[in-house]
Amino acid sequence: MAIRMIVKEPDEVLHKIAKEVTVVTPNVKKLLDDMADTMYDAEGVGLAAPQVGILKRLIVVDADEEHGLIKMINPEIIGTEGEQLGPEGCLSIPGLNGDVRRAETVTVRGLNREGKEITITGSGLLARAFQHEIDHLNGVLFTDIAEKVYEMTAELSETEE
């Protein structure tokens, strides 16, 4: 497993639509593992393959204790409920945060790293992370849909610690 370089805005790969994974190969599994290592190294809660320069429909998310690390191939949102408005940041857009309106609860279907279909329902931060990472697979960044975008300042960082 390895730490990969995270692609930063305005790299064009972040604005393209990722391609479906048709076969779960050892390379796909290695990429998922590398993405998880990269996400943890960067202290994130989610990462999509385009963020490491690969236009494949792969995400990793670790946003709540109940589910732990989720590695998903070809994820799609199949159900939503409620609404939340909250802050988001992105490992590909350091220094910026934004207020983004998202569904409060989402149900996501995809394949696990073994190629078996899985369905996960999550709320709160997990729902936000799923929506954020799936947006990446469609070339959408949080700054494209945020109601307000603002710079992270030293004062904000200190109050959050």
Spatial contact of 98 and 86, defined as CB atoms under 8 Å apart: no
Radius of gyration of the chain (CA): 15
Segment (H or E) for 87: strand 84-89
Residue 79 assigned as binding residue: no
Segment (H or E) for 154: helix 154-160
| Given the residues 12, 81, 133, 161, the one annotated as active site | 133
The residues, ordered by sequence, that sit 6+ positions from 43 with a Cβ below 8 Å of its Cβ are: none
Residue 3 assigned as binding residue: no
Spatial contact of 106 and 57, defined as CB atoms under 8 Å apart: no
Segment (H or E) for 42: none
* Annotated catalytic residue 76: no
Rounded distance between C-alpha atoms, residue 130 and residue 13, angstroms:
19
Residue 132 assigned as binding residue: yes
Look up tokens 């050892």; give the residue: 26
Active site residues: 133
Binding residues: 90, 132, 136
Binding residues for Fe cation: 90, 132, 136
